[in-house]
Structures are given as C-alpha cells and as structure tokens.
Amino acid sequence: MKSRRLMLSVVLLSLSTTAFAQSPAPKPEIPKTEAQKSFDAMKTLAGEWEGPVTTDLPEAMKANMGVNSNPLHVSLHVTSRGNAIVEESQEARTPLDYTKYDHPVTMLYMEGDQLALVHYCDAGNRPHMVGKRSPDGKTVEFQFVDVAGSTQRGYMHHAVFTIIDASHHTEDWTYMMPGDTPLRAHFDLQRTK
C-alpha cells in the first residue's frame, strides 16, 4: 500500500514537472507605436469635466445664434474592452434633450496604425481626423481627413487635446463655417470626477 502511494506520488510529481516544462514561455512585450501611445494618453482623460468655453465668434453673432457663456460639461469614458473612447459634451446643467440642446459625440479608436477620431456633429455630419502625440506626450493633435454627410452648415476640421495634469486639460476645436471660414473654440476643463 505504501509503495503504491509512493509510486503515485512519483508519477504525479513527474507529470507536474513535465507540464511545467511544457508551459509556453511568456511572450515578449511588443513596443507600442506612437499612435498607441497617443491613444493611451487620451485614455487618461476618462472622467467628468467642466469648464468655460471661449470662441472667436463675434459678440453680435453669438447673440443672434443664442450662444451663452455657460460652462461646458464633458464626459469621457473608455469602452469596448479598451478599444474606444467616447466623449460627450453639452452645456453644463442642461437636460439630455437633443431637440433643444447640442450634444455632440466624439469617438476615438485605433484604426490600423493611426489614432482616429470621428465627431458625430450636431450639424448632421461626421468628420474623420487622425491624431498625433507631441514629443512631450502632453498634446494630441487631430488633422482632418474627410467628412461624411452634408457640410452645408459647416463641419469640425481640427482638434487639439492638451493634458495639463491629471485634473486639468484643454481642448481646442476648429469648426469650418460655410464658406470655409474657421471658427475656433477653446475648452478649459477641470475634472469633477
């Protein structure tokens, strides 16, 4: 009986040693591309943000369009198992009512070896841009590629996200008005969550 237990122990030990010896070696870590580093930098912005918006829109035009000086609320979250970032923005302290308030959505994701941005605009179109991180890693700048949908009311053409620190970032957006007149907006955002 003791010899059977001893033999069983030896067999189990030899099987576990064989199984251990056959386990795959850890895969070497593949270096991240610049686009992946840009995407990782953008993921650090996940959270809730609020802050003032400044534009180069003339005051008379602001009044005519009903633009006010209320702060902007921005929500950024990582989704799709880490493969996408969703940014939603709206005037702070307003209900989610798309019939009365602007509520654009921006998606960021890796597209091959590029960081892509698609902005689902309240103007009814979807500009597509690609991003590149600055050498210091604090800024990701998005250049226009193309736009789907009508550009009759204008379209987003350029965006720059600058990470000041973990609780502060800015966004600079350029909107091309009809006739290709640029309109710039600067969001100075503080983390609220």
pLDDT band at 146 (very low <50, low <70, confident <90, very high): very high
How confident is the model over 74-110, as pLDDT tens digits? 999 999 999 999 999 999 988 878 777 888 999 999 9
> What pLDDT sits at residue 70?
83
**Confidence at 59, pLDDT banded by 50, 70, 90:** confident
Instruction: Tell me what pLDDT residue 68 has.
Output: 65
The alpha carbon of 172 is separated from its chain's Cα centroid by a whole number of angstroms, namely: 14
The hierarchical CATH code for the domain 34-191 is 2.40.128.20
* This prediction's pTM: 0.81
Residue 122 has pLDDT above 70, yes or no: yes
Q: Which of 94, 74, 78 is nearest to 86 (CA)?
A: 78
Q: Does residue 11 surpass a pLDDT of 50?
A: no
Partnered with residue 174 across adjacent β-strands are 158, 184
Secondary structure (H, E, C), the chain: CHHHHHHHHHHHHHHHHHHHHHCCCCCCCCCCCHHHHHHHHHHCCCEEEEECEEECCCHHHHHHHCCCCCCEEEEEEEEHHHCEEEEEEEECCCCCCCCCCCCCEEEEEEECCEEEEEEECCCCCEEEEEEEECCCCCEEEEEEEEEECCCCCCEEEEEEEEEEECCEEEEEEEEEECCCEEEEEEEEEEECC
Query: How confident is the model at residue 14, as a pLDDT?
Result: 52
- Residue 122, token pair as written in the block: 């309240």
Cα–Cα distance measured from residue 58 to residue 181, given in angstroms and rounded to the nearest whole number: 13
The rounded mean pLDDT for the chain is 87
pLDDT of residue 178: 93
Could you give phi then psi for residue 48, rounded to 5 degrees?
-110, 135
Residue 61 has pLDDT above 80, yes or no: no
Domain positions in the chain are 34-191
